[in-house]
Structures are given as structure tokens and as C-alpha cells.
Amino acid sequence: MADFLMPALGADMETGTVVQWLVEPGARVKPGDVVAVVETHKGAIDVECFLDGVIGDLAPVGERLPVGAVLARVMETGGKPAASVKASKSAVSAVAQPASPPLGREAAAPRTGQSTPVNARRKVSPAARQRALQIGLDPDALSGTGADGAVVLGDVERAGWRPRSVAAPAAAASAAHRGSFDPVQMRQAIASAMARSKREIPHYYLSSTVDFDAAQAWLQAWNRDRDPVHRLLPAVLLLKATALALREVPQFNGFCEGGVFRPGVGIHVGWATALRGGGLVAPAIHGADGRSPAELMEAMRDLVQRARAGGLRSSELTDPTVTVTSLGDRGAESVLGVIYPPQVAIIGFGRVVERPWVVDGQIVARRLVNLSLAADHRTSDGHLGGQLLAAIQQHLQSPETL
């Protein structure tokens, strides 16, 4: 018998309330299945199970439980204890190591060069498989746009076979509890987590101004003959350039646990998203370095929409290995972030602005963006930080490589 625990959905979470179970006692569950909806100060979150077996002893609906409390127990078929991954309040990222990897994690695995057998199952992200089964689709029959042809959530939704009368249980439950979102409670939780971050993490800061002209020209060429729904925003290039730079300088992609750096498994970028009711969340875009700009644009749209509608999944809140905040075209010209523990860095981008710039000894008008890094001095230093900023800048100035 293994315990399925209340996950720590971020460093600022203390408790959660089960508002709906999506499985019955005695049901068979496997890693990646959405089994419950838990309400936190961030709203209603679809909680995925990382155990394999038969679930029972479900915590009562409506009961507020601390992080790490037992939500349910899982027994493997045949009476053997289920293999488990336990959540830890002090190590938020430890909860996110499912046996079946979430969206994009396939891209982080080493490639063997071996051919895939004809009768092998198609790669399908857990969220996509769960969604497909909910609406009566065969996920192995769908075309995939993810890494190595994997079927991702957007592929399932785009299939277009979902009856309008059918609503996913998790989505319905999330929508039912959106009205209880308390922006004051979220602000208090964020303030507590950030105050702890500033007290306990020795921050250092670096910034650089990046010539964005080449990236802007590439974007205009890409978008010129495409419908608005398929066009890219500058944020996509900022995200992809950061993800590729983290491949080259991986010391900023991971966690500080007990004063020691633990590298992240894959590059899962937490994208800071402002909520309409107030507050902020930074759910993960999994495997960001292995996705094309078009795939990242789709993932960002989906993530932001679900974040604001109350439809995030637990793996998206426990997986981020680094955070990126982009202020967009209505934001300030620069931002200095506060590290979200146990991560070791937050990367910020200001608004793209047109300013005088010296090119080949001549003053010309250029589009510029301010790039900043706040990092943990226990795990890196300014020399490494400068290498990361230089790598991001290099990728932005060579947008055709993104």
C-alpha cells in the first residue's frame, strides 16, 4: 500500500482542499491520470496521480489538508504495494518525476538511434492520453506535433471530434470552483513565498540590452502570409532563445536543495502568467528547448488560457526548472525578478522599445529589449550568469536557428 499525498503545487502553497474526486474507490489508476480536483489559493487544480494500482481510502471532499497529507492510498493489483513518488513540501520539484513523462519530457531523453517497431504505441503525453480517453478518442490513432511526433494535448483538442455536449470532468470541476478564487489570499501567499526567497536565497542580478532587430524582422517575415491565429508573438522567440541557452549553460536549470544544486530533468520553463482576477502563476512549458516556435506559441496560448480559466494540472505547477517573466508590449522596459524556490534563477524580459543604437560606428534606430537574470549565488556566480545572458543574446540575434 502506497500513500498518494497532497502535492506541493508551488513554494507558496501550504494547504489544499479536495473539491472533487474523478475516480471511485477501487478504480485502477496509472501515472498521469487526473484523479482529483484540489482547490488552492491559485484556484482549482487538476491533480495527476503518479502511482500505479488500485485507489482507495479517498480523503473526504471539502476537507482542507496540509501539503504532504494523505489524499488516498493505492494498492497494486495482486496485493503488492504500488510504486510511488512522494511529494515534499521542502522539495517542490521532487513530486514531478512520473514513470510516464509529461508533455515534452521525451525531448530530454537521450536518442539511441534505434528504429521504432511498427506495432509500438505512439508517443502520447499523459495529459493528451487522459483527455483523449475522456472524450472517446484513440490517442494512438492521432497525428502528433510534439517532440519526435508525440501526441500532445493540442493535437487531441484539434482533432475536432469532441461533441459539444460532452464536458471533461476535470474541466467542469475546475470551472465550477473558479468563483471561489481569492486574489487577496493569493497575494498573501505570493508575498510569503517571495519574502522567504529574499531571506534565504543570496540573490545576485545581471542585465543586458539586446538588439532585437533581427528577431523582429524574422517574425515579420514568418507572420506575413499567415492567419492571425497562426502568427507568432515576440515572447515565443524570447522563450525559445532562453531554453536553448539553458542547454549550453545548464547550471541555471534546476534546484537548490540543502545548499546543493540538483540539475533539472529536461528544460521545463515556468512561464509567468498574470491572472485577470489578480495574482500570478508560472506553470511549466515542458521540453521547451525541443519545440519549434510554432509549437511553443500553441503551448503558450493553451497554458495562459487554462491558467486564467482555472484548468491547470498539478504537473505544470510542480515541474518548472526555471522561470521566465516577459512583460510584453504593455509592460515596463525592464524587470528584476525574485527567485521562486527551490529554483535557482528567474530570467526577465522588458518591453521591446525603439532606441538609438550604435552599429558599425553609426547611430541608428534599433528595436531593443532589456534582458535580466536573478540567480542564486549558492549555485552560480556572475561569470556563469554572463555566459547565460550572452547565449540568450546570441540566439535572439540568429533567429533562423530557433
Is 112 a member of any domain? no
CB-count exposure of residue 199 (10 Å: 0-12, 13-18, 19+): exposed
Do both 307 and 248 map to the same domain? yes
Do both 47 and 126 map to the same domain? no
Do both 228 and 374 map to the same domain? yes
Is 26 a member of any domain? yes
Instruction: In whole angstroms, give the CA distance from residue 113 to residue 363.
Output: 50
Do both 202 and 173 map to the same domain? no
The pLDDT value recorded for residue 39 is 83
The pLDDT value recorded for residue 247 is 96
The pLDDT value recorded for residue 334 is 92
Rounded average pLDDT per 10-residue block, the chain, 402 residues: 83 82 90 86 81 90 88 74 41 34 34 36 64 65 68 63 36 46 71 88 96 95 91 95 97 93 94 81 92 93 84 83 90 91 95 94 95 96 97 95 88
The pLDDT value recorded for residue 258 is 87
CB-count exposure of residue 238 (10 Å: 0-12, 13-18, 19+): buried
User: What DSSP letter does each residue of 166-228 carry, written as one string?
Assistant: ---HHHHHHHHTGGG--HHHHHHHHHHHHHHHHHHS-EEEEEEEEE-HHHHHHHHHHHTTS-G
The pLDDT value recorded for residue 279 is 76
The pLDDT value recorded for residue 177 is 47
Do both 252 and 293 map to the same domain? yes
Do both 153 and 208 map to the same domain? no
Instruction: In whole angstroms, give the CA distance from residue 177 to residue 252.
Output: 36
Into how many domains does the chain fold? 3
E-assigned strand segments in 276-350: 280-281, 284-285, 322-326, 345-349
Is 334 a member of any domain? yes
The pLDDT value recorded for residue 3 is 87
E-assigned strand segments in 212-337: 254-257, 260-263, 269-271, 273-274, 280-281, 284-285, 322-326
For residues 362-395, one letter each, b for 16 or more C-beta atoms within 10 angstroms of the residue's C-beta and e for the rest, the string is eeeebbbbbbbbbbbeebbeeeebebbbebbbeb
Cβ contacts of 386 within 8 Å, gap of 6 or more: 206
Is 192 a member of any domain? no
Helix (H, G, I), strand (E, B) or coil at 43: strand
Q: Which domain holds residue 40?
A: 1-94
Do both 166 and 201 map to the same domain? no
- Cα–Cα nearest to 262, from 244, 250, 245: 250
On whether the CB atoms of residues 242 and 324 are closer than 8 A, the answer is yes
Do both 206 and 252 map to the same domain? yes
The pLDDT value recorded for residue 85 is 40
Do both 162 and 83 map to the same domain? no
Is 114 a member of any domain? no
Do both 292 and 257 map to the same domain? yes
Pick the last residue of a domain from 75, 94, 113: 94
On whether the CB atoms of residues 108 and 247 are closer than 8 A, the answer is no
For residues 239-252, one letter each, b for 16 or more C-beta atoms within 10 angstroms of the residue's C-beta and e for the rest, the string is bbbbbbbbeebebb
Is 174 a member of any domain? yes
The pLDDT value recorded for residue 54 is 92
User: Which residues partner with 345 through β-bridges?
Assistant: 375
Hey, what amino acid is at 101? Answer: P
What is the Rg, in whole angstroms, of the alpha carbon atoms belonging to the chain?
Answer: 21
The pLDDT value recorded for residue 31 is 87
The pLDDT value recorded for residue 191 is 81
CATH number of domain containing 212: 3.30.559.10
For residue 136, is it left (φ>0), alpha (ψ between -120 and 50) or beta? left
User: Which residues partner with 17 through β-bridges?
Assistant: 39, 64
Residue 365 belongs to what H/E stretch?
A: strand 362-376
Is 209 a member of any domain? yes
**Helix then strand then coil, % of the chain, to nearest 5:** 35, 25, 40
Do both 255 and 309 map to the same domain? yes
Do both 272 and 391 map to the same domain? yes
Q: Is the pTM of this model over 0.75?
A: no
